[in-house]
């Protein structure tokens, strides 16, 4: 069984197996996601973190079946409560979006329709899934949704441009939870917000998640935010998972050299004025070199790293890493 294919501590609501998503270009396929596997437990908050271009947002779009040409889901399985999403018709998948799996996208201003009031956008979400409600019932439902995310019911009568960034993002959360989905995917939901509003939005997301009993996949690049917001953390690099474990374990003792360097680059009160980056650049996903993708930047690289890509394996109970440093001796 592959590294992230087994869940510890509860039933899985979502199972991702060997997911591969390529973007086809005249020069060949860009392997944005190349063989990613993980489980999401019921009511869990799972984080996916990594540099830009590591494949995080592509995974989010693939789980929603929103990859568009020249992108294509090349293979794998995505099981939501036992239903294989990648094999569904477009109409069947449309019915599951929002009702069973919802996306809170990056950039609320690009998500909301600027010429429709908030009420109309919430009504569209409900009626698109055959919710037969009277106007009074709709108003009550919309007021309840807005109050759940910390907004006044009067916000329903406003246009997106009349709202602050944090309020717009909360409206997106309200739309995402409107049909009580089993899984919420939040793709960098706080990237354009200041630190105080970031915390407010993340607290709102945590509260509504607990309220409806959903599981969350939080996609981002902010390790500090992840430390406060998720239960488990997956670290991505060059289209693959390189480490996956409880969030406390990865900060206490990261195993993969990339994770170690990511955490070492975080600001520290003990090292004032000292900033440590990661030398080099991620490899081209169009012409990926053989062996371990991190080898050119890795301070612990060995000869085997140049010829053989390490699989994600369970190095310690519940702690998975894709690194030749942790192979059992022959």
Flag whether pLDDT at 87 surpasses 60: yes
Domain 3-44+51-92+232-267+276-326 indexed as CATH 3.40.50.300 = yes
pLDDT in tens, 180-192: 999 999 998 887 7
pLDDT in tens, 60-83: 999 999 999 999 999 999 999 999
Q: Residue 303: pLDDT band by 50, 70, 90 thresholds? A: very high
pLDDT, mean of residues 301-312: 94
How far apart (Å, rounded) are the C-alpha atoms in residues 23 and 38? 22
- Residue 9, classified by CB atoms within 10 Å of its CB into exposed (0-12), middle (13-18) or buried (19+), is exposed
Q: Which residue would you say has higher pLDDT here, 90 or 107?
A: 90
- pLDDT at res. 233: 97
User: What's the mean per-residue pLDDT of the chain?
Assistant: 89
> By the 8 A CB rule, do 32 and 285 touch?
yes
pLDDT in tens, 205-257: 999 999 999 999 999 988 888 998 999 999 999 999 999 999 999 999 999 99
What are the domain boundaries of the chain? Answer: 3-44+51-92+232-267+276-326
How far apart (Å, rounded) are the C-alpha atoms in residues 77 and 51? 25
In angstroms, the Cα distances linking 233 to 85, 181, 248, 259 are: 24, 22, 9, 11
Flag whether pLDDT at 36 surpasses 60: yes
As given in the structure block, the two tokens for residue 51 are: 């540099």
What SS3 class is residue 77? strand
């Amino acid at each position: 069984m592959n590294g992230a294919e087994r869940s510890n501590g509860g039933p899985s609501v979502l199972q991702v197996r060997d997911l591969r998503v390529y973007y086809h270009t005249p020069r060949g396929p860009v392997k944005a996601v190349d063989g990613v596997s993980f489980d999401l437990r019921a009511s869990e908050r799972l984080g996916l973190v990594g540099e830009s271009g590591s494949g995080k947002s592509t995974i989010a779009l693939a789980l929603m079946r929103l990859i568009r040409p020249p992108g294509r889901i090349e293979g794998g399985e995505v099981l939501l409560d036992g239903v294989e999403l990648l094999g569904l018709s477009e109409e069947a998948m449309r019915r599951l979006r929002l009702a069973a799996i919802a996306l809170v996208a990056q950039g609320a201003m690009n998500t909301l329709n600027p010429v429709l009031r908030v009420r109309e956008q919430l009504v569209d979400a409900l009626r698109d899934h055959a919710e037969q409600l009277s106007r009074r019932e709709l108003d009550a439902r919309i007021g309840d949704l807005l109050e759940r995310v910390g907004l006044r019911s009067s916000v329903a009568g406003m246009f997106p441009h009349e709202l602050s960034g944090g309020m717009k993002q909360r409206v997106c959360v309200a739309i995402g939870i409107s049909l009580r989905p089993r899984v919420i995917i939040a793709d960098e939901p706080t990237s354009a917000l200041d630190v105080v509003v970031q915390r407010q939005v993340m607290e709102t997301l945590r509260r509504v998640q607990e309220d409806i009993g959903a599981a969350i996949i939080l996609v981002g690049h902010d390790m500090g935010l992840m430390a406060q917001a998720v239960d488990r953390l997956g670290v991505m690099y060059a289209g693959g998972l390189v480490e996956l474990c409880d969030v406390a374990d990865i900060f206490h003792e990261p195993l993969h050299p990339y994770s170690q360097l990511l955490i070492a680059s975080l600001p520290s009160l003990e090292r004032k004025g000292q900033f440590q980056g990661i030398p080099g650049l991620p490899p081209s996903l169009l012409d990926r070199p053989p062996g371990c993708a991190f080898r050119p930047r890795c301070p612990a690289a060995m000869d085997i790293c140049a010829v053989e890509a390490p699989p994600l394996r369970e190095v310690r109970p519940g702690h998975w890493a894709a690194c030749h440093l942790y192979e059992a001796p022959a």
